[in-house]
Every structure is written in structure tokens, then in C-alpha cells.
Structure 1
């Protein structure tokens, strides 16, 4: 929405700035309480699973609008989409998002058309299981790639594959406050994304949200 365009410069600095510290993205927010915790913890990016009913963290368009309206405008809102029509993604993005994340099978051709419709940065998630996924990550035309084992699985992939990715990336999957220091030391990712590890009894835990942000900031200080 227009009120969030105040985040344009902030979003640019987060994605393209020279700050050497790892960025923190917290994903899967779906309740008002989640946004209050995010505003308090102040990650670099906040992610929402959009229009994917098979996910328990899914938010529809109206719910997304409310949650983004509650989000501190200095924290860019990331909409996570799974093989959605271009028109829908661009409309939602133009109205209320700062960054688009593609989590499905979308390829470079899809992103070419999407950029003609929505002038926002794009993150492409790559499910890492072998050499072909490394190649896909390296050849992606997205602004950033996110490396994971699969959305919401809460399990890590073989980190040796990440070493072969020759571009900045966000590391996701199976990370916790206990494994973040090792991940940062071994891989030096551009950013860390967390979702399942932020939950207690299947809902976001404000204490875990705060601890996750603190762990990344401490490990990359």
C-alpha cells in the first residue's frame, strides 16, 4: 500500500547496501501477535505466506493487508508465493509488499514477465538436493536466492551444496539459535531465514523471535 512506500529506501539499503552483517528474515507470520513480536525484535525482513491454503501459516489477501498495516514500516514486508498467476502476484505486491519471494517452480521467464508488472526486488527459493539445484541458483535472475530443503520442513539440506553457490544467498531450513553460529562461520550467508524454529505449539513464540534475531546479530557482529 502507498503508506509502505516509505520503506523503499530502507529495502534498497537492506538488499543492496554494503553492510557486512548478515540480514535476518523471519517468515510465516499470520497473527496480529506475530507482528507485535516482530516489531519488537526488529529483523531486517518479515515474510508472509500468501494465498496457499495448504499451509497452516497461509494468509489471504485481506489478512495480509491487515498484518502489513500493523508491521513497522521500517521493516520490509516479503510476500511468499507458490506458483501464483502473474496478475495476482503483481496486484498484491503493488498494493502492500516491498519484496516478492517465489517459492514454487517459477523460472527466469516468469520473473521476466513479473518485473514488467511489479517493480519490486525478487527472492527465488531453491530447494537444494543436488548439482542441478546449484546450477539453478547460480543462473537465477532473481535479486537474491534463498537456499532451503523445502518450505516449512524445518530440516537442513547438505550445506556443502551451498558452498558451490557463487552469489549472495539467504540460508534457510533447520536453523536454530544453537546452529546459527556454526552456519555463519562455515558459510557466511548473506542472510538467515527462520520459520518453524520460531514456533512453540505451532504458533510463533515472541521469545524465540527475539532470540533468533539476537543470535544472527551476535554471530555476524
Structure 2
């Protein structure tokens, strides 16, 4: 979400968790901390507010959480830099200050090693998001392509955590994804976007509504 009006429209369309990208790294759909906080405040009581971070510096992540005050911290940076041990440290730092905060750990679905990554992060996470990776995008996600759903299904079966399936999902394939993976929730970015002529995007509320309807029916 990049504006208050967009976020409120998405919530009205039935989205339960809405993502924000408070950053200055040139990430898809990024916004500054003040805008993210404005959107988060407007969404209170209407949807869960999710703030995404690709940072590897724990202090920078904590500063973003303090500025935005999300319900969920979505960690989708390089897992060789923000390791399970680092997430444990971050959790110990943040939860005394924000006891309601949940940590959503992105698992890069690059192959069978994803099963090991999920097992390693599980003790320090509250939710997982299984996402695709693209070489030209920083962090995990925003790739716009699907991955091996059989691996995702295996993580769902093995994990005690709620698992969100992401990666290339839109109104046309979300039902098949749900049937194949049986996740706790599904996520869409690229395939519910409306590209702008000058670059970047806004959300396509009609596509979001179609995605919500298709997911609900499945």
C-alpha cells in the first residue's frame, strides 16, 4: 500500500493483512516512514498492518518498527545475513517494547533447501511466508512468478506455524494454489498491480476484489 485511500479501498475489498514497504532502497512500492505510519494509523481496526524489511542491520529494523508501529514485521531480507539467531536477538529486543508484534519470516522458495530454512527459522517466527525470488529484486518476494508448490505443501505439512503462500499469485491461479498447498493464507503483489506509465505501480482494486473472491471460494 502506498496511500491511505488505496489501503482503505483494499481493506474494504476484504483483504485481512495489508503490506507496507517503509524504505529508501528503491524497492517496489516503497514509501517513507511517515507515510507508512499514516497508512498504518488509518488502517487500525480495519486490517492487520504488515511492515516489510529487507535490512540486515537489526538497529535499522527496530527503528522502522518504532516509526511505523505495525502489527506484523515481515522479514524478507537475505537469510544469510538475518539468520535464525539474528531473528532471535531481534525478537528479544522488540517484543518487550511491542508485545503484540508478530514476526513474519519469508522463506526463499529456491529449492529443497527451503525445507531446512523453514525448520531453522520456526522457533523464532510467528508466521511464514513462502515466496519466490528474482535476481533483479532486493530480498525475497516481488518476483511475480510461482515456485514449486509441492515444496510449499511440504512446509505447510511440517510446520506448526501459520503459512502464507506467495509468489506469482493472482485471481486466475489462486484457487489452484490453495488446492495444491492448503496454506493458512495467500498473498498477492505483482498480479494485482496496475503499472504506471512513468514506472512503479498502484494497486488494482478490482483485481484485488477478484483475488479475494477467488481465494474465498477456494
TM-score range, shorter chain: 0.7 to 0.9
User: Are the counterparts in 1 of residues 28 and 142 from structure 2 also a CA contact under 8 Å?
Assistant: no
Unaligned runs of 5+ in 2: 96-100, 134-140, 196-200
Shift of 1:46: 0.8
Shift of 1:72: 4.1
Matches within 5 A, 1:207-218: 207-218=206-217
Equivalent in 119, 123, 136 of residue 138 of structure 1: 119
Equivalent in 180, 187, 209 of residue 186 of structure 1: 180
User: Are the counterparts in 2 of residues 79 and 101 from structure 1 also a CA contact under 8 Å?
Assistant: yes
TM-score, normalised on structure 2?
A: 0.81
Q: Distance in 2 between matches of 1:163 and 1:184?
A: 10
Residue in structure 2 matched with residue 196 of structure 1 by the alignment: 190
Shift of 1:163: 2.6
Indicate yes or no: 2:92 matched with 1:123.
no
RMSD of aligned residue pairs (Cα, Å): 1.6
TM-score, normalised on structure 1?
A: 0.80
Residue in structure 1 matched with residue 130 of structure 2 by the alignment: 147
Q: Residue 194 of structure 1 aligns to a residue in which SS? A: coil
Residue in structure 1 matched with residue 50 of structure 2 by the alignment: 78
Shift of 1:33: 3.0
Unaligned runs of 5+ in 1: 1-28
Q: Distance in 1 between matches of 2:113 and 2:11?
A: 38
Question: Which deviates the most, 91-100 or 209-218?
Answer: 91-100
